Amino acid sequence: MGKTTTAKNLAAALALKGKRTLLIDLDEQANATKGSGINPLALDATLNDLFADPNRATLAVIFETGIDGLHIIPAHSDLAKTETGMALQRADPNNPDPIGMLKLLLEPLNDRYDFIIFDTPPSLNYMTINALAAADEVLIPAAASAYTEDGIGRTWEAYERAKKTYKQSLHRPRILVTRTKRTNASGVVLDGISQLYLDSVMPQLIVESTAVDEAEQLKQPVVTYDPDNPAAQGYIRVAEIFINEQ
Ligand SMILES: Nc1ncnc2c1ncn2[C@@H]1O[C@H](COP(=O)(O)OP(=O)(O)O)[C@@H](O)[C@H]1O
Ligand SMILES: [Mg+2]
Q: How far is the CA of 104 from the centre of ligand 1 (A)?
A: 31
pLDDT of residue 55: 80
Could you say which ligand is closest to the alpha carbon of residue 28?
2
Could you say which ligand is closest to the alpha carbon of residue 9?
1
Eight-state DSSP code of residue 144: S
pLDDT of residue 87: 83
Q: Fill in the amino acid letter for 230.
A: P
Q: Is 142 helix (H, G, I), strand (E, B) or coil?
A: strand
pLDDT of residue 1: 82
| CB of 216 closer than 6 angstroms to any ligand 1 atom | yes
Q: Is 117 helix (H, G, I), strand (E, B) or coil?
A: strand
Cβ neighbours for 52, distance < 8 A, ≥ 6 positions apart:
82
Residue ranges of domains in the chain: 3-244
CB 68 within 8 A of CB 17: no
**Can you tell me the distance from the alpha carbon of 54 to that of 89, in angstroms, rounded to the nearest whole number?**
15
> For residue 209, which atom of ligand 1 is closest to its CA?
3
| CB of 226 closer than 6 angstroms to any ligand 1 atom | no
pLDDT of residue 207: 97
Nearest-CA residue for atom 19 of ligand 1 = 2
What is the pTM for the complete model shown? 0.95
Q: Is the pLDDT of residue 146 over 80?
A: no
pLDDT of residue 45: 87
Backbone angles phi, psi at 167, to 5 degrees: -145, 70
CB 31 within 8 A of CB 9: no
pLDDT of residue 198: 84
Q: How far is the CA of 96 from the centre of ligand 2 (A)?
A: 29
| pLDDT interval class at 117 (50, 70, 90) | very high
Q: How far is the CA of 28 from the centre of ligand 2 (A)?
A: 9
Nearest-CA residue for atom 18 of ligand 1 = 4
pLDDT of residue 70: 98
| CB of 25 closer than 6 angstroms to any ligand 1 atom | no
pLDDT in tens, 42-100: 888 888 888 888 788 888 899 999 999 999 999 988 888 888 888 888 888 887 778 99
Could you say which ligand is closest to the alpha carbon of residue 26?
2
pLDDT in tens, 169-226: 999 999 999 999 988 888 888 888 888 898 899 999 999 999 999 999 999 999 999 9
> For residue 141, which atom of ligand 1 is closest to its CA?
22
DSSP symbols for 191-226: HHHHHHHGGGB-S---B--HHHHHHHHTTS-HHHH-
pLDDT of residue 89: 82
What is the CB neighbour count within 10 angstroms for residue 137?
11
| CB of 179 closer than 6 angstroms to any ligand 1 atom | yes
Checking 41-47 for CB contacts under 8 A at 24+ apart, the result is: 43/74, 43/76, 46/73, 46/74, 46/75, 46/76, 46/78, 46/79, 47/73, 47/74, 47/75, 47/76, 47/79
Instruction: Return the CATH architecture of domain 3-244.
Output: 3-Layer(aba) Sandwich (3.40)
